[in-house]
């Protein structure tokens, strides 16, 4: 069996090598000819697996029978086209959710330091409460941060189910305009839905961007097309009274350089790029492909993940909660590194090549759960905050 794998998928040989011949190809270079003799295809989000790609590959006699994406999102894969050719499909829901949460927390902590505010005093609106947004809601709430949530499709689906079972409908959710009116921070974690009653394309359109109160912090780590980038650029360049953290963009990799210059933190779609998240994605698709071909999946995540470079910190008295949180987050991940890298590589190579280059050569990054925190006698009061943020707290 020949398995074509995106060159950025980690541990591909360790996982898929036990199932067949592994051929690595850069994600944007996967073409019909690449799949002419492929039995399976494993991608990440930058490869468009659409009807044209599949039809042309099949016209060349491709034996393709399985496609897997090592990502949460699936909007880059035409599942209807795959089904039409009897090609099995699998994604990796939740694989990099923890990494995205780390990105959100590290970015908010960085801006809290830069603008001298306490994160725990801000109200955070979470738009999209699925694998990522749902976990973010739990994590921030555990840290003592006030949150409002918005997810109309979930409210509708769970309301119908509750009605069917004669139970009470879902409570505690709000509409997007309420979040815009009442929240200091707005975090977007929605999938891209182009049409229908819950379409998310330009969910934040000209009117809603104009409605953001001065001082609002907008963070998008969902899908770039959910925000009208032109309208956001005009608000930032004109009034300059809101702050943007952007990891996803319209027209990737040829993103709006002027918008990137105006964002407080601008990164090249790497919020979920932890080693742990990537390995979970690889492992999930490995298990799915093994099941598809009827072979045992013997490798475990423990077989794949190395020891973290920073495994343990000891905190004593003298740090405020904000300082302690920031110190621990930066021991694992600092988003300023990725912001600086994108701008540096864009100057060197142009935006599109620089954007892809940052992703292709992304440095090692672990998740906050890889770091154990020991709290000294004078730092015990930090336990709820740091445990809520996802760190492992050593036993007293």
In whole angstroms, what is the distance from residue 30 CA to residue 56 CA? 12
- Residue 318, annotated ligand binder? no
- 196 burial class (0-12, 13-18, 19+ CB within 10 angstroms)? exposed
Report the DSSP beta bridge partners of residue 227: 204
- Active-site position among 223, 235, 284, 366: 223
- Residue 273, annotated ligand binder? yes
- Active-site position among 98, 250, 252, 345: 252
- Active-site residue, 381 included: no
Helix, strand, coil share (%) of the chain residues, nearest 5:
45, 15, 40
- Residue 151, annotated ligand binder? yes
In whole angstroms, what is the distance from residue 336 CA to residue 106 CA? 9
- Residue 261, annotated ligand binder? no
- Active-site position among 135, 139, 189, 269: 269
Helix (H, G, I), strand (E, B) or coil at 243: strand
- Residue 45, annotated ligand binder? yes
CA proximity to 62, closest of 86, 93, 92: 86
Is the bond preceding 253 in cis, omega lying within 30 degrees of 0? yes
In whole angstroms, what is the distance from residue 203 CA to residue 207 CA? 10
Helix (H, G, I), strand (E, B) or coil at 351: helix
- Active-site residue, 365 included: no
Helices (H) and strands (E) in the chain, counts: 16, 14
- Active-site residue, 269 included: yes
List the binding residues for NAD(+): 151, 190, 247, 272
- Residue ranges of the annotated binding site are 45, 71, 151, 190, 247, 272-273
**Annotated binding-site residue numbers for substrate:** 45, 71, 273
Residues with a known catalytic role: 223, 252, 269
């Amino acid at each position: 069996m020949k398995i074509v794998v995106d060159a950025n998928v980690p541990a591909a040989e360790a996982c898929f090598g036990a199932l067949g011949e592994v051929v690595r190809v850069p994600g944007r270079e996967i073409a019909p000819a690449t799949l002419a003799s492929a039995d399976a295809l494993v991608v990440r989000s930058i490869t468009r697996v659409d009807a044209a790609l599949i039809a042309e590959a099949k016209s060349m006699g491709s034996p393709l029978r399985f496609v897997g994406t090592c990502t949460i999102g699936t909007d880059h894969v035409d599942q209807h086209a795959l089904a039409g050719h009897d090609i099995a499909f699998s994604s990796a829901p939740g694989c990099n959710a923890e990494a995205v949460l780390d990105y959100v927390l590290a970015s908010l902590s960085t801006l809290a330091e830069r603008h001298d505010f306490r994160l725990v005093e801000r109200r955070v609106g979470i738009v999209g409460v699925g694998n990522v947004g749902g976990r973010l809601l739990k994590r921030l709430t555990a840290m003592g941060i006030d949150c409002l949530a918005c997810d109309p499709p979930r409210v509708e689906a769970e309301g119908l189910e509750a009605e069917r079972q004669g139970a009470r409908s879902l409570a505690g959710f709000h509409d997007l305009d309420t979040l815009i009116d009442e929240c200091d921070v707005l975090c977007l974690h929605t999938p891209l839905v182009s049409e229908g009653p819950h379409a998310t394309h330009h969910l934040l359109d000209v009117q809603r961007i104009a409605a953001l109160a001065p001082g609002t912090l907008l963070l998008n780590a969902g899908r770039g097309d959910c925000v009208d980038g032109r309208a956001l650029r005009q608000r930032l360049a004109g009034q300059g009274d809101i702050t943007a953290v952007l990891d996803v963009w319209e027209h990737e990799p040829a993103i709006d350089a002027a918008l990137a210059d105006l964002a407080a933190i601008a990164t090249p779609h790497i919020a979920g790029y932890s080693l742990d998240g990537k390995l979970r994605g690889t492992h999930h698709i490995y298990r799915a492909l093994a099941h598809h071909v009827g072979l045992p999946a013997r490798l475990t995540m423990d077989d794949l993940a190395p020891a973290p470079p920073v495994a343990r910190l000891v905190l004593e008295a003298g740090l405020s909660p904000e300082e302690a949180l920031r110190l621990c987050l930066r021991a694992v991940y600092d988003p300023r590194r990725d912001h600086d890298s994108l701008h540096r590589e864009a100057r060197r190579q142009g935006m599109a090549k620089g954007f892809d280059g940052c992703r292709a050569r992304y440095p090692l990054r672990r998740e906050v759960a890889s770091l154990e925190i020991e709290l000294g006698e004078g730092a015990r009061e930090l336990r709820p905050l740091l445990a809520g943020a996802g760190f492992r707290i050593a036993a007293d």
